[in-house]
Amino acid sequence: MHYVYQIESISHAGERYIGSTADLKARLIKHNEGGSPHTAKYRPWKLVSYQAFESPEKARAFEAYLKSGSGRAFAQRHIW
């Protein structure tokens, strides 16, 4: 399975991140260890939501949608 996930900073209110991965647990650990330059300064992170897909292409397409203008509006209404 491939996952699109949404995480939120515990220490910095309002800081959010959307990503995709094949190993959700390992990816969240990496974010919390500071292994991602985009999220290191806002750790620790908590998992808010995730969606599972059978193919990496579908996961990447949904991630790209969530990062678009209409996708951000969708996420604001339904995820955050």
Q: Which domains does the chain have, with CATH numbers?
A: 2-78 (3.40.1440.10)
> Nearest 5°: phi and psi at 17?
-145, 140
Residue-level pLDDT at 79: 85
pTM for the complete prediction?
A: 0.91
Residue 75 and residue 78: Cα distance in Å, rounded? 5
List the alpha helices (DSSP H) in 1-80. Answer: 24-33, 56-66, 69-78
Residue-level pLDDT at 80: 77
Are 12 and 23 in contact, with CB atoms under 8 Å apart? no
Q: What percent of the chain has pLDDT over 70?
A: 100
How confident is the model over 8-45, as pLDDT tens digits?
A: 999 999 999 999 999 999 999 999 999 999 999 999 99
How many residues are there in the chain? 80
